[in-house]
Amino acid sequence: MTHVLQQTNFNFPGMKSLYKGKVRDVYNIDNQYLVMVASDRISAFDVVLPRGIPFKGQVLNQIASTFLDATADICPNWKVSTPDPNVTIGRFCSIYPIEMIIRGYLTGSSWRTYQKGIRTICGVQVPDNMKEHQRFPEPIITPTTKAAEGHDEDITREEIIARGFIPKETYECIEKYTSALFRRGTEIAASKGLILVDTKYEFGKGADGKIYLCDEIHTPDSSRYFYLDGYDERQAKGEPQRQLSKEFVREWLMANGFMGKTGQQAPGMSDAWIHEISDRYIELYETITGEPFIRADTENLQERIEKSINNWLKNR
């Protein structure tokens, strides 16, 4: 039987706080380390759905770990160790309250905005007469606020600086990191027969005052991928693109009348649908990494994770 990790509530030596995000549980150890546990929770439209997805946390954690290593020459990142398939331990950072979203193609929420006749997204002008899934002349950065509760909101770079979310010099540095990370992610995706369509990055300030790339990168939760093979043909015919991302979950929810709005209730998720989502996550892992996915033992999932973390903390 496959078990899923819905919640954790560990008590580690030196633990100062526990933050529970939509997907990750983050433990602060002595204001020195952040222990990030990737759960099997799945969210869409800023709402955590009622059932977990087998192996989703492992997929997210291991993809993120791979890409943090593959981009460390571009930007310092928070990762120190991955002692368990579901866990990354990193340096403690104060996270900037902005998510840096970068888009190479007009799709997802940007397409839904475009359909309404809007041609300025987060202060960035986009061309007229574009089609869904069409590539932008150059990738655009469309940041959002990072809401503690509820929905994130679009924001412009000018508003970020004027409202004091991030100092001007820091924001300009983060923008450069965002573009460079996206270029690297695009190159790696192309080498695996994929298109990195859009993604988000989060940054924080370390105790040493440096800017660090934090959280996950280039996972199916934070990114959208198309298959490169057949992209042009499908685009020319106006056909849907083959995607590897969480967008198929959002589309299913919308088809069932749910977009996370007040008063809406998430539809029920059958066992067959849960396992299909799990299979899609594993497919993306194997495609983007080029490695077979090794399912970790989930029989004693909580105990395994707690033991792995305690062993690392003991021997750090």
pLDDT given for residue 46 in this prediction = 85
In a shared domain, residues 34 and 125: no
pLDDT exceeds cutoff 80 at 150: no
Instruction: Place 267 in a pLDDT band, splitting at 50, 70 and 90.
Output: very high
191-247: pLDDT as tens digits: 999 999 999 999 999 999 999 999 999 998 899 999 999 999 999 999 999 988 788
Phi-psi domain of 31 (left: phi exceeds 0; alpha: psi -120 through 50; beta: other): left
Q: Rounded to an integer, what distance in angstroms lies between the CA atom of residue 239 and that of residue 195? A: 16
Residue 182 is assigned to a structural domain of this protein: yes
Instruction: Place 146 in a pLDDT band, splitting at 50, 70 and 90.
Output: confident
- Identify the domain containing residue 51 by its residue range: 15-94+246-315
Report long-range pairs for 149-156 (Cβ below 8 Å, ≥24 apart): 150/46, 151/45, 151/46, 151/260, 152/46, 152/99, 154/121, 154/122, 155/98, 155/122, 156/122, 156/123
57-99: pLDDT as tens digits: 999 999 999 999 999 999 999 999 999 999 999 999 999 999 9
The proportion of the chain whose per-residue pLDDT surpasses 90, expressed as a percent, equals 90
Residue 117 is assigned to a structural domain of this protein: yes
In a shared domain, residues 164 and 183: yes
Q: What are the helix and strand counts (H, E) for the chain?
A: 8, 17
Q: Using the 3D structure, point to which of 185, 219, 245 is the last residue of a domain.
A: 245
pLDDT exceeds cutoff 70 at 30: yes
In a shared domain, residues 206 and 258: no
* SS3 call for 192: coil
How many structural domains comprise the chain? Answer: 2
Backbone angles phi, psi at 98, to 5 degrees: -135, 135
Residue 7 is assigned to a structural domain of this protein: no
pLDDT given for residue 221 in this prediction = 86
Instruction: Place 55 in a pLDDT band, splitting at 50, 70 and 90.
Output: very high
pLDDT given for residue 151 in this prediction = 62
Q: Rounded to an integer, what distance in angstroms lies between the CA atom of residue 173 and that of residue 5? A: 36
Compute the C-alpha angle 10/22/304, nearest 5°: 35
* Mean pLDDT in residue range 17-37: 95
pLDDT exceeds cutoff 70 at 147: no
